[in-house]
Amino acid sequence: MTNLKIDYYSWIYRGRIQSRAFILHVPSVDLPEVIGNIERALKPGGYFYVSFKYGDFEGERNGRYFTNQTEQSLEELLKPFKQLELLETSVTPDVRAGRGDEMWLNAIVRKK
């Protein structure tokens, strides 16, 4: 099976899209367009994994743009997309050395 590469952190493979620490760099005003593209790309029954830094910060940090999310803000972001179902969220600590106090929101979404 081929692997359609979108970028280093985000790809489509066997009906799944993974966005690990990628769309958190998209400004919140542009996130609905990105989520809409993902919704269109997924086949019915396909899954989407996404992770964001946890919290409500949005802006530039260390020369890069971040849009953090909470469970509530992610639910609000996904609400207009009627074909997408938020299956699971979890909050986990960053595993990189020296970053254990940084938390990540992980989510699994499925297209109905």
pTM over 0.85, yes/no: no
Strand partners, 91: 105
Strands (E), the chain: 4-5, 10-13, 16-19, 47-53, 58-61, 64-67, 84-93, 103-111
Strands 16-19 and 47-53: parallel
pLDDT tens-digit profile of 8-40?
Answer: 334 444 555 656 667 899 999 999 999 998 898
Residues 6 or more apart whose CB falls under 8 angstroms from that of 30 comprise: none
pLDDT tens-digit profile of 76-103?
Answer: 999 999 999 999 999 999 888 888 789 9
Strand partners, 60: 65
Distance CA(69)–CA(28), nearest Å, equals 10
